[in-house]
Amino acid sequence: MSTAMTAGAAGRAYARSAALHRRGRVVFPGGITRSTIDTDPHPIYVSRGEGAYVIDEDNNRLLDLNNNFTTLMHGHAFAPVIGAVTDLLRKGTCFANPTHHEIALAELLVSRIPAIEQVRFVNSGTEAVMFAIKAARAFTGRQAIARFAGSYHGSYDWAETGQSGAVQTAGDERRVARAAYHGAPPTTADAVVVLDFNDVDGLEIGLAPRAERLAAILIDPMPSRAGLLAPLPQFIERLNALASRHGILIIADEVLNLRQGYNGSSSRYGLEPDLVTAGKIIGGGFPIGAVGGRSDVMSVFGSDVKAPLVPQGGTFSANPVSMLAGRMAMEAMTPDEFARLERLGDRLRAQLTATAAKHAAPFSIAGAASLFRIHAKRSVPGTYANAIMTTEEATRMRSLSRYFRDEGVLLPCGAAACLSTPMTEMDTDKVSAAFDRFLTACGDQTWERQA
């Protein structure tokens, strides 16, 4: 591997970030408080954000393609949110009583997302998925759920079990969901059926024998953690039909993929969910989660009955800061703005694809709308199994991420990257130019040896 693949071109300094990480290691396990933070070779500590860019503690200015894990549609320090929240803070940050801000944000979501008739707000995407599963159980009277290998749905035991797939037991046709962490109760796996995304025939094989136990099918319409897999139309069609036939609810986890359009991603791909979970972009940069769906299903949360089937509280649920910030951010995302961002995403994906082809390099580009992911593979994967990186591919992606960082671009390594509304063609050209320089520095002979 060439020197260019292991060292950045600009040789940026990160002394303060390195020092802060040493301090963090004293008080945090592993030195960080989120396992998703890039620690290669240490985290980059951010001082402030300005639009599409962040400035780190060493005063490096970096184009942000992470946007706090796709949360920030408008990048950093979005003026309408800053202004509205600053004014609100003088009036109080949270109350035990409701405020009109929660109604306004709920009305916005109901007006935009076809599957949502009513909403309940929570504090995170994990909570949203957790309460959606509870609602499905309460409504159907069933306990088990089905989910797809490789998809990320937060850290609720039943939502994360099977994320890394299933184990085929010897002499048994059953696929047992893999536990998400050491010490997880083995009984959790008994209530989780693991399916393979885009496996049309496998849907009926996996669902039919267990249909009477299944409360819901949990699905990310374009699984991010699994590789931003594009759903096959026939796969979505079969899923809709099987769920309807067997009385199984569909939970569309759009915590990340709601950013795919004004109406979210389910309607984009023809998915017909009974419940939808949302988060990230609907909070305007503040913690939030939401579960919404059909009124009859959502009635399990109802406080107008003597005892709701699913009690749902939360000290900070529907706090006015998140509600107002979310509404300001979402109102600014008009259909025209979604369309503009998608055109920018299409342009960047085309540029990156053409650059890889020019160098005959083993890279491909997945994604839609404002989302993209660079795969260290010659073809875009269509399944989770094909998306899993080999050791060599992981090394290649780590080298690319490091090179981008030293070119002034923060590119998530092995995860979804995203655009934000402050970005222009000049910014996306910066990304494609850095990719071209990386491939040029590696030399075509590198790819010839790996062919």
pLDDT at 1: 41
Rg over CA atoms, the chain: 22
pLDDT at 305 over 90: no
Q: Report pLDDT for 170.
A: 52
- The long-range contacts involving 166-174, CB below 8 angstroms and separated by at least 24 positions, are 166/194
Beta bridge partners of residue 291, listed in sequence order:
120, 277
Tell me the domain boundaries of the chain: 3-74+336-450, 79-331
Please write the tens of the pLDDT for every residue from 396-407: 999 999 999 999
325-355: per-residue pLDDT in tens?
999 999 999 999 999 999 999 999 999 999 9
Q: CA-to-CA distance for 439 and 432, rounded, in angstroms?
A: 11
Cα(436)–Cα(431) distance, rounded to whole angstroms?
Answer: 9
In 44-109, DSSP assigns E strands to 46-50, 53-56, 61-64
Q: What is the pLDDT of residue 269?
A: 98
Torsion sign across C-alpha atoms 205, 206, 208, 210: positive
Instruction: Tell me the sheet residues that pair with 145.
Output: 192, 216
Cα three-residue angle 107-96-111, rounded to 5 degrees: 5
What CA–CA distance (Å, rounded) separates 312 from 238?
Answer: 33
Q: Is the pLDDT of residue 412 over 50?
A: yes
- The mean of the pLDDT values for the chain is 93
Residue 92 has pLDDT above 50, yes or no: yes
Mark out the alpha helices in 90-153 (DSSP H runs).
100-112, 125-140
CATH of domain 3-74+336-450: 3.90.1150.10
Residue 358: Cβ within 10 Å count: 12
Portion of the chain with pLDDT greater than 70, in percent: 94
In the β-sheet with 364-366, what is the strand arrangement from edge to edge?
364-366, 371-375, 417-418
The per-residue pLDDT for 204 is: 94
Please say if the pLDDT value at position 48 is more than 50: yes
Is the pTM value of this prediction over 0.85? yes
pLDDT band at 31 (very low <50, low <70, confident <90, very high): very high
Topology alike, domains 3-74+336-450 and 79-331: no
pLDDT per residue as tens digits for the range 185-208: 989 999 999 999 999 999 999 999
Band of pLDDT at residue 414, cut at 50, 70 and 90: confident
For residues 99 and 260, is the Cβ–Cβ distance under 8 A? Answer: no
How many residues can be counted in the chain? 451
Mean pLDDT (whole number) for 125-145: 97
Give percent above pLDDT 90 in the chain.
88
| Range with the poorest average pLDDT among 240-244, 311-315, 317-321, 341-345 | 311-315
pLDDT of residue 168: 72
Predicted pLDDT of residue 166: 87
Neighbouring CB atoms inside 10 A of 156's CB total: 18
Topology of domain 79-331, per CATH?
A: Aspartate Aminotransferase; domain 2 (3.40.640)
Q: Which of 240, 254, 148 lies closest to 199, judged by CA?
A: 148
Q: What is the pLDDT of residue 209?
A: 93
Angle at 223 (CA atoms; ends 255, 120), nearest 5 degrees: 20
Model confidence at 137: pLDDT above 60: yes
Q: Quick check: 293 and 264 in contact, CB under 8 A?
A: no
